[in-house]
Amino acid sequence: MKKLLSWLYLPTMLLGLWLLLNDSLSFGNIVLGGALALFFGWASRALRPLRARPRKPLVALKLLWRVAVDVFNSNLEVARIIWVGNKKISPGFIKIPIDLKDPHGLAVLSCIVTYTPGTVWAEFAENEELLTLHVLDLTDEAYWIHKIQYDYARPLKEIFE
């Protein structure tokens, strides 16, 4: 029963998206959307052989809050750099050791880094466990290493590993 319910998450979301995009709750839309959602939910199982097993929802909520605050602050800082323009910026690449192994955790970390203005995930060398990050204003490497390792990778490791 639990396996069936976990399988129905994706078709339920697809059906909801279908109905939202069609802006209709007609019987035909529900039937067609349900059939498509079940088919695409079933067809996509082969694309995800490794299932995510997130744990510790409180840690996830704290991480979500931390990311929201960081994205907001980074938006303000990048806007200040662009609008004021009198600050000399020093863009650069930094290599950060990451011991996060779970591919879902790494995917979330890449999203976090990419969502934050002023930073771009450039490369992850899996065999060396090194993340290469491009930062718009790289004045303090220690700050970025601490930010990525402790504010993001550590909670993701708790959640996914």
Spell out the domain ranges in the chain: 2-47, 57-160
Instruction: Give the number of residues written for the chain.
Output: 161
Which segments of the chain have a pLDDT < 70?
A: 1-7, 49, 86
Check residue 97 and give its pLDDT: 92
DSSP 129: T
CA torsion 74→75→81→83, rounded to 10°? -170
Check residue 4 and give its pLDDT: 60
Q: What is the largest CA-CA distance in the chain?
A: 61
Check residue 64 and give its pLDDT: 94
Check residue 127 and give its pLDDT: 86
Whole-structure pTM value: 0.71
Check residue 3 and give its pLDDT: 63
Query: Order of strands across the sheet with 92-97?
Result: 92-97, 130-135, 119-125
Check residue 116 and give its pLDDT: 86
Check residue 151 and give its pLDDT: 92
Give the Cα separation of 15 and 29 in Å (integer): 9
Structure tokens at 115: 């969502």
